[in-house]
Structure 1
């Protein structure tokens, strides 16, 4: 480790040299209160910015030990500090001048949800913050004086104001930690009370706009129907009331624009903790809950969809089904089976984004097209089995078919964003409008047949149409390029994640790309199954975070995805 004065001397010595001379700065430097590490230096001022990190000890930072005593508090504190650091660096970014990205100082921009990120990591040794800096240049000539401003004027102020406890609002931070502990308490209460979700009275569910996840101003606040209202005594906030959604099959109905999908959206994001002021802080859903929808054209590989699709006219085996271009119904059947494999105990569905022929067949259609001529067993006929035999609950938004009323345990009508429990009324009506008896074939839990082949889509030649290489080709290092939240490329292949709706941050997408790259290069051997590989990765994530993916240093720009999204990513990877 070198001293900060040595860094200054090096900056003076390379001033006005060609840009590659910046590479000599790579290393670790001791400043007065923290350690600065220059982990990666960009190739030129127009390239992706340099990777820099700062580590400050707990003694210097001064945060109470109870604020980082376990994983929950560490992630919460790290998220809080990342937001504080972003506020500080935004005041200084591009104040150092030059060409291209010169003077850029950037850190992760957090959303409404609290995620475990590489941007800030808290260990027993201290706090590490990772960020990007555009090393200044005039053209391609080093402007070391401007970088000296960043390292010796701007950065010390940002670190002091964002990572030293006495300079922050102690009450605000305390409330942040307390909120996280209350949210964790509700999750545990869901298990004890046989609930799959909780929505607190006073919650604000509508969002500002389609491109903003902030709460809508002046919107109707949530109020639970009395029959579904539960009370919880939280460790910090105290008594709280709200709607508890029980295990089983829950139907959300109502007129258009009355808040059905808004409620479902809040529930699907209730798998994450939300920050204070979001409006959905106490909207908590079973952490394994998975949103499912149809995905025309998606890739399906070796999935046992026989629970829903059988006796195809072409005699294709549906116990180990593969297609490069799935239909809406086939993709949704595969998604449900993959969700079972991922350990999901709650399925969230919206009739609007589901394949109609997969969800239900009305009485007239059953009369016209007989059972033996229809290979699809609709979800309507399997939902009860999923709950009773696999303990998987369903929350379904329905607006067009009354058939779902007959299988529902709970029916919630949204009326101008207010929920009304109409379960008893619906049961009375179901007796007057009986559903045609059409029992599905016996329930059989799907089996996994999937071996991850060692034929990988590498860079180079001799690849097939989908970018898969032959076994004899020598492996090369794969490159991953992230395309925002919606997907990434790995080698020559695209992985489309647009319809994985609980994937909420491009940093999660980046982490999924890194996980897939790690698996392709180190785990796929032609013997391990897909579940074995994913479970191995998830186990490493739980124990080590994302650090095991690092190659020499851990970079800013990754967030830990859930197990469900890891499965979803690997299932959409077009492997041989």
Structure 2
């Protein structure tokens, strides 16, 4: 600490850039402090720092004997606790978790102890260093926060235990889905609605979810015990009902529950197969050599759709591409909302078939291919559908949402099919070939970073800057936090270290995202582990990416 004080006194009243001399390691009485990067300007991104405290000084060594999921939750809890402490001084910033509990780098457990990784806005008067103010922050206020967040007697241990046990319960519930042949599980009493479209916080006066008896199952959680709820079977499931009755709310809860949620979120006992992908139409996106022939063929001027590329895809083309890319990336289930889909990709009714003959229509709608996805590739599909009854012919399960209550209307739907048979013609009966595994040019990724002066930057979860390119990600609704995007950028950087073509990028990223995935990353505190599906979905939207 004396070294830190000496350096600060030496640069007092100097230009702000003199803070760069502060980089290095400093030893306090009971923790080590590292200044890794220093901002060059008061308006530049804050300086990155770390604090490491030995296990023997924390009374938290028992955490090392717990499961990896328990430890992940404990690290998340400590990060939240430190974030609450840092609100007292806006100069200290830690990657603030939302409602999801992700595998983050803001708090790390290693052999030596607990490491906190965060940022500090170094104080100044304009662009002049005020050493006294910085000294007060770094040697008085900050050590108090570090000590409180890394010692058992200062942490609310009952809350920490509930936080960690909730995660172990969710992991256990999710692990039972395949055993019971379920796509998802929604526990009774869950609160699914959110307070606003731009908020992930629960609507506290919402109607608690209750499973219809026909779909009710009981799963076993290690801490909560038996939990009753609605089991959504594998296969094709339709969510139907009138407008504003909760169809999209249910789908939204299911799509977000590929991740764990904090206690009190309302969705902490809602779990989904973690290989489920939400897809939609996305006008204007890029597509790189994707085989769209199962859904789109016979394009004007003989354009090939077995290796389709575009920098400005239409709604139907973009949705077909997303479907194929998801399966290529390992998706086992597809989640689709009619409201955000291209209508001509979803359905072509009897009258339109009579008006436009099949030879003049390049699109084979999903309604004619969805059963083949299920039967030939074991892909489950969950559809929110309010406008087309033709999907009733292929549905295995039909759930009606009525005033936010779920009702199993599968038998009623089958009676409707029997009494009102469709007169539209089946348009796609041929075998669906599994999407080819495309190769990615690693050298192109490396050259993009070189051209852009190595820029991997994230401001929010709707955009990632890689080199000079800004990748638009507004359509990716399953990105839980912007910290996942920063991790994705650095995963690409790792892939780009070797020149040439990567034959199977999905497998390469899966190998990188093992339990110790963060060890290959820079020691930044603002990263969180993404799914391989998201890594590939973002990569597919990079306009300068080179696939073959």
Pair 1:533-2:520 in alignment: no
Query: Which of 453, 457, 476 is residue 441 of structure 2 equivalent to?
Result: 453
Mapped partners of 1:509, 1:203: distance in 2? 29
CA deviation profile, 1:199-249 (whole Å, cap 9, x unmatched): 000000010111211111211010000000011232111121000001100
Q: Structure 2 vs 1, CA of residues 573 and 68 (structure 1 numbering), >3 Å: closer, same or farther?
A: farther
Mapped partners of 1:329, 1:397: distance in 2? 17
Pair 1:573-2:546 in alignment: no
Pair 1:297-2:272 in alignment: no
Q: Which residue of 2 aligns with 1:98?
A: none
**Gapped runs of 5+ residues in structure 2?**
none
**Gapped runs of 5+ residues in structure 1?**
94-103, 460-467
Q: Which residue of 2 aligns with 1:96?
A: none
- How far 1:68 sits from its partner (Å)? 5.8
Q: Could you say what the CA RMSD is over the residues aligned between the two structures, in angstroms?
A: 1.9
Secondary structure (helix, strand or coil) at the match of 2:440 reads coil
Q: Structure 2 vs 1, CA of residues 483 and 22 (structure 1 numbering), >3 Å: closer, same or farther?
A: closer
- How far 1:67 sits from its partner (Å)? 6.0
Q: Which residue of 2 aligns with 1:53?
A: 50
- How far 1:293 sits from its partner (Å)? 0.1
Mapped partners of 1:67, 1:211: distance in 2? 37
Q: Which residue of 2 aligns with 1:495?
A: 471
Q: Which residue of 2 aligns with 1:482?
A: 458
Pair 1:19-2:24 in alignment: no
Q: Structure 2 vs 1, CA of residues 456 and 241 (structure 1 numbering), >3 Å: closer, same or farther?
A: same
Secondary structure (helix, strand or coil) at the match of 2:513 reads helix
Q: Which residue of 2 aligns with 1:100?
A: none
Secondary structure (helix, strand or coil) at the match of 2:178 reads helix
The size of the alignment, in residue pairs, is: 544
User: Is the 1:300–1:571 Cα contact (8 Å) retained in structure 2?
Assistant: yes
Mapped partners of 1:272, 1:68: distance in 2? 23
User: Is the 2:215–2:230 Cα contact (8 Å) retained in structure 1?
Assistant: yes
Q: Which moved more, 1:395-404 or 1:479-488?
A: 479-488
Mapped partners of 2:345, 2:314: distance in 1? 10
Pair 1:557-2:526 in alignment: yes
Q: Which residue of 2 aligns with 1:544?
A: 516
Q: Which residue of 2 aligns with 1:425?
A: 412
Matches within 5 A, 1:140-539: 140-436=127-423, 437-448=425-436, 450-453=438-441, 456=444, 477-519=453-495, 521-523=496-498, 525=500, 527-529=501-503, 532-539=504-511
- How far 1:560 sits from its partner (Å)? 1.6
Secondary structure (helix, strand or coil) at the match of 1:561 reads coil
Mapped partners of 2:78, 2:314: distance in 1? 45
Q: Structure 2 vs 1, CA of residues 68 and 365 (structure 1 numbering), >3 Å: closer, same or farther?
A: farther
Q: Which residue of 2 aligns with 1:83?
A: 80
User: Is the 1:454–1:524 Cα contact (8 Å) retained in structure 2?
Assistant: yes
Q: Which moved more, 1:292-301 or 1:428-437?
A: 428-437
Mapped partners of 1:191, 1:442: distance in 2? 28
Secondary structure (helix, strand or coil) at the match of 1:233 reads strand
Mapped partners of 1:108, 1:444: distance in 2? 44
- How far 1:540 sits from its partner (Å)? 1.6
- How far 1:425 sits from its partner (Å)? 0.7
- How far 1:169 sits from its partner (Å)? 1.7
- How far 1:66 sits from its partner (Å)? 4.3
Mapped partners of 2:231, 2:111: distance in 1? 38
Q: Which residue of 2 aligns with 1:463?
A: none
Q: Structure 2 vs 1, CA of residues 66 and 161 (structure 1 numbering), >3 Å: closer, same or farther?
A: closer
User: Is the 1:182–1:237 Cα contact (8 Å) retained in structure 2?
Assistant: yes
- How far 1:476 sits from its partner (Å)? 7.0
CA deviation profile, 1:428-477 (whole Å, cap 9, x unmatched): 11011112341513123244263323663788xxxxxxxx89xxxx8674
CA deviation profile, 1:141-161 (whole Å, cap 9, x unmatched): 221111111121111211222
Q: Which residue of 2 aligns with 1:118?
A: 105
- How far 1:266 sits from its partner (Å)? 0.1
TM-score w.r.t. length of structure 2: 0.95
User: Is the 1:457–1:493 Cα contact (8 Å) retained in structure 2?
Assistant: no
TM-score w.r.t. length of structure 1: 0.91
User: Is the 2:276–2:334 Cα contact (8 Å) retained in structure 1?
Assistant: yes
Q: Which residue of 2 aligns with 1:101?
A: none
Secondary structure (helix, strand or coil) at the match of 1:135 reads coil
User: Is the 1:306–1:446 Cα contact (8 Å) retained in structure 2?
Assistant: no
Mapped partners of 1:381, 1:128: distance in 2? 54
Mapped partners of 2:187, 2:532: distance in 1? 26
